[in-house]
Amino acid sequence: MTQDANDGSPAEQKKSNLLEQMRRVGESSGRNRAERLNRQSQPQQRQAIRFEDLPEYKRVATQRIAGEMLGVANPFYRSHDIAAGATTRIGGRDFVNFASYDYLGTNTDPHVASSAKEAIDRFGISASASRLVAGERPGHVELEQKLAGVYGVDAAVCFVSGYLTNVAAISCLMGPQDLVIHDEFIHNSALAGIKLSGAVRRLFKHNDVENLDSILKTLSSDFRRILVIVEGIYSMDGDVADLPALLELKARHGFWLMVDEAHALGILGKTGRGTFEHFGLDPRDVDIWMGTLSKTTSSCGGYIAGSSALVDILKAEAGGFVYSVGLSPVLAAAAIAALDVLQSGPERTERLRRNGHLFLECAKAAGLDTGLSVGHSVVPVIVGDSLRAAQLSNDLLAEGINVLPIIHPAVPEGMARLRFFITCDHTEEQIRHAVALTAAKLKSLQDRNFGLASLDMDKMMQLLPTIQTSSSRP
């Protein structure tokens, strides 16, 4: 004889009561929403905007048309056939490569590779869950302990993306009553985190501590929390934050200081520990160390290092950690092994330093504009015109050099550049040859006045509606 569902077990009754409670809450919320809508005038029926009509698409289409009119092939999304380091292979052809973050050559290091393979054999590919529920693995703890040790701080926490690290940490710690002040050249991920936080945003002139001081004197009393964000080595320009001056300012104004070490770990300091070692400073004086696992450690992900309290907050409150799958065990293992290589082989950092300085010295001697770079991991060659930068990249590719352009809107129009990433494995011959070719190819483009200035703008604007119409057809 079956029992009626309404007269079921205590567990069934409890479930029924819970569902009824949830329905009452939902109905109450629905009534309130309906009342608000009824009080508002009913809007006219609207049509969704086509993506082809968006200004964002028009910018993309304009760039494409401009390139087609000058015969400039798209230099982006070049697919590599092998692991890319100081050299690579694209379409079956070998190239000297200046487009890789593999600063210390850890991407193909045997210790890193064997550690990654062992992790796959033991844990598979994915953590398969958020670390809070079922995604925690021993490698996560070991990696975070190693990162905390590198920075000489209490703790660290890892995220599945470098971009997400800034977004999650900043939006977790800051809110609408707070102020974030950042260097004008800060990475886009920090800007996204600030926007998500709702905090008031101010910028200061690049590496200008006096300008930052003046902003703090004007605004600091009006906010609950204040965060200042800089990069150890700036990813677009290759210069170094004035950390001693920033810490002196921090002592006077009482803000949190966040330093993005994405391009500084493994590069700055005698043993590659980063910006604090470069200047001989106590790392505990910086509140938040941020970095990525995709450069020196040849993995993927990001981290925050600092006090135990900071890490506890992020592990409990940062949406990008709490609601995201844990870092893949194989990526954690690779990063751990790469940190082993960094700690046991400071000669790689020294080789990288020599190569960076050599590249900068040769580029300046060749008359190339290297902007603000001081010759570490990143050396830009500023070209000016976006189309000229793209064509210069293509011309160098034809000569066996792979280096990518940075163009508008990533940088202002007139500041387009080729961005050379230097590694410890580049040879002196490769560096000298690349610089000489860059100078010669750039001069040829300049002599021909190749670029935006040579475009027939009237013709390009006539073509734009044609491109948009054809792209919207089935």
Give the model confidence (pLDDT) of 266-305 as tens digits: 999 999 999 999 999 999 999 999 999 999 999 999 999 9
pTM (2 d.p.):
0.88
Q: What does the mean pLDDT of the chain come to?
A: 91
Q: What is the pLDDT of residue 282?
A: 98
Q: Region 1-20: what's the mean pLDDT?
A: 66
pLDDT tens digits, 126-154: 999 999 999 999 999 999 999 999 999 99
Residues 6+ positions from 312 with CB-CB distance below 8 Å: 155
Q: What is the pLDDT of residue 40?
A: 64
Structure tokens at 148: 């905390």
More confident call, 2 vs 24? 24
Distances (CA, A) of 379 to 279, 435, 436: 21, 11, 15
Q: What is the pLDDT of residue 461?
A: 60
State how far the Cα of 380 lies from the Cα of 416, in Å rounded to an integer.
9
Phi, then psi, of 271 in degrees rounded to 5? -110, 15
Give yes or no for residue 30 having a pLDDT over 60: yes
Distances (CA, A) of 188 to 131, 139, 240, 340, 410: 27, 29, 18, 30, 9
State how far the Cα of 194 lies from the Cα of 319, in Å rounded to an integer.
14
Contact 306, 155 (CB under 8 A): yes
Helices 308-317 and 162-173: crossing angle in degrees, nearest 10, is 100
pLDDT tens digits, 404-461: 999 988 888 789 999 999 999 999 999 999 999 999 999 999 999 998 777 666 655 6
How many of the other CB atoms lie within 10 Å of CB of 120? 14
**DSSP 8-state secondary structure symbol assigned to residue 453:** G
More confident call, 219 vs 28? 219
State how far the Cα of 298 lies from the Cα of 331, in Å rounded to an integer.
9
State how far the Cα of 238 lies from the Cα of 215, in Å rounded to an integer.
25
Contact 172, 314 (CB under 8 A): yes
Q: What is the pLDDT of residue 20?
A: 75
- Helices (DSSP H) in 366-427: which residue ranges? 386-398
pLDDT tens digits, 331-375: 999 999 999 999 998 999 999 999 999 999 999 999 999 999 999
How many of the other CB atoms lie within 10 Å of CB of 123? 18
Q: pLDDT band for position 62 (50/70/90)?
A: confident
Q: pLDDT band for position 244 (50/70/90)?
A: very high
Q: What is the pLDDT of residue 451?
A: 87
Give yes or no for residue 83 having a pLDDT over 90: yes
Distances (CA, A) of 291 to 206, 251, 376: 20, 24, 17
